[in-house]
């Protein structure tokens, strides 16, 4: 048994040590912030995007760095998860990316404002957050195994945007038709037209017109043209 004075000394020394450790760790954490956040890469555009983010009450629905409301997806890693094209389309017209269930506010941003928000997301995306948040993988969310092999064969844009609505090899969303064997149904020329503007191929098409640049469209057309029934969708 400790005597009363020994217990008091034990308490005081223990408290002082813990407090000291706490201070040291705090100073250490603060010291790392500039490096972990890439402070020096914070562009004018990203700063404007941050102010826009605050002013527009995005946090009324979304979380960023875990802070905000839990109504809508966490956006800390949205830049790598979705990419600039998806984000641009979403900010332009939320219904386009989630047909028939628009729950996000339709803002009236200018092109510049959308680019500023994207620059802000790109900057946040590069922050070193010690692994937060756990990265969801769209293809994994969609199910099925053998994900690594399959995903690495798809162009990045396809992984980021198209699988949100389309299944391929059993993985992906169900908003649009599965794309296995699409090369048997559509020529490269039709695919190209379809990606530029789906309504030019089918006037009542439910697929949104996505802001894809020509190089990306060519990459996607080349990829889609390999999707013949004989080579995909078979024995998996
Ligand atoms: C009224 C609530 C609400 C507000 C305010 C809101 N959002 Fe959203 N947002 C959503 C919902 C809900 C989704 C998911 C799509 C859906 O279910 O319609 C979403 C999706 C997104 C996505 C796509 C995320 C993904 O992973 O698919 C981005 C990017 C986005 N919002 C950015 C913003 C930005 C930037 C702002 C502020 C300028 C904002 N949102 C304000 C509700 C909101
Ligand atoms: C927001 C959901 C959505 C996204 C994102 C999307 N699509 Fe679609 N897509 C659709 C829908 C819905 C259709 C069916 C259109 C119709 O017939 O009305 C479709 C049709 C298609 C078709 C025609 C398929 C057929 O068999 O007729 C192709 C090819 C296609 N999409 C490719 C793509 C590619 C490539 C991407 C990525 C750049 C993409 N889509 C992104 C919803 C989407």
* Greatest C-alpha distance within the chain: 89
Indicate if 109 and 47 belong to the same structural domain.
yes
- In a 13 Å sphere around the CA of 134, the CA atoms on its Cβ side amount to 2
Tokens coding 37: 């956040």
Is residue 52 within 8 A of residue 64, CB to CB? The reply is no
Q: Which residues of the chain carry a pLDDT beneath 70?
A: 134-151, 231-236
Task: State whether the Cα torsion 215-210-152-121 is positive or negative.
Answer: positive
- DSSP tag of 171: E
Nearest partner of 89 among 76, 77, 102, judged by Cα: 102
Is residue 164 within 8 A of residue 75, CB to CB? The reply is no
- Centroid of ligand 1 to alpha carbon of 100 (angstroms): 15
- Centroid of ligand 1 to alpha carbon of 59 (angstroms): 9
- Centroid of ligand 2 to alpha carbon of 73 (angstroms): 23
**15: containing domain:** 9-39
pLDDT of residue 163: 87
Cβ 105 under 6 angstroms from ligand 1: yes
Domain limit, last residue, from 65, 97, 125: 125
pLDDT of residue 226: 93
Q: For residue 133, tell me if it sits in a domain.
A: no
Indicate if 51 and 63 belong to the same structural domain.
yes
pLDDT of residue 179: 94
Domain limit, last residue, from 125, 155, 171: 125
Q: Looking at the 3D structure of the chain, how many domains does it have?
A: 3
What is the DSSP annotation of 99-148? TT---S------HHHHHHHHHHHHHHHT---TTPSPPP-HHHHH--S-HH
Choose the residue to mutate in 165, 195, 199, 225 for probing ligand 2, maximizing ligand atoms within 8 Å of C-beta.
Answer: 165
pLDDT of residue 96: 79
Q: For residue 95, tell me if it sits in a domain.
A: yes
Give the closest ligand to the alpha carbon of residue 168. 2
**pLDDT tens by residue, 168-222:** 988 888 888 999 999 999 999 999 999 999 999 999 888 888 889 999 999 999 9
């Amino acid at each position: 048994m400790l005597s009363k004075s020994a217990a008091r000394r034990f308490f005081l020394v223990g408290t002082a040590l813990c407090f000291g450790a706490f201070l040291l760790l705090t100073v250490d954490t603060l010291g790392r912030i500039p490096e972990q956040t890439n402070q020096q890469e914070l562009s004018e555009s990203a700063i404007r995007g941050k102010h826009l983010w605050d002013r527009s009450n995005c946090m009324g629905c979304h979380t960023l760095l875990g802070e905000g409301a839990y109504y809508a997806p966490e956006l800390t890693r949205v830049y790598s998860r979705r990419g600039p094209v998806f984000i641009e389309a979403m900010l332009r017209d939320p219904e386009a990316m989630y047909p028939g269930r628009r729950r996000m506010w339709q803002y009236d941003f200018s092109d510049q404002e959308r680019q500023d928000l994207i620059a802000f997301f790109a900057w946040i995306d590069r922050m070193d957050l010690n692994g937060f948040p756990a990265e969801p993988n769209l293809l994994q969310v969609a199910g099925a195994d053998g994900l690594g092999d399959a995903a690495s064969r798809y162009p990045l844009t396809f992984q980021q945007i198209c699988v949100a609505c389309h299944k391929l090899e059993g993985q992906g969303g169900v908003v649009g038709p599965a794309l296995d064997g699409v090369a048997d149904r559509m020529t490269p020329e039709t695919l190209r037209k379809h990606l530029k503007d789906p309504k030019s191929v089918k006037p009542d098409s439910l697929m949104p017109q996505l802001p894809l640049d020509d190089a990306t469209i060519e990459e996607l057309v080349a990829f889609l043209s390999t999707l013949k029934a004989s080579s995909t969708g078979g024995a998996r």
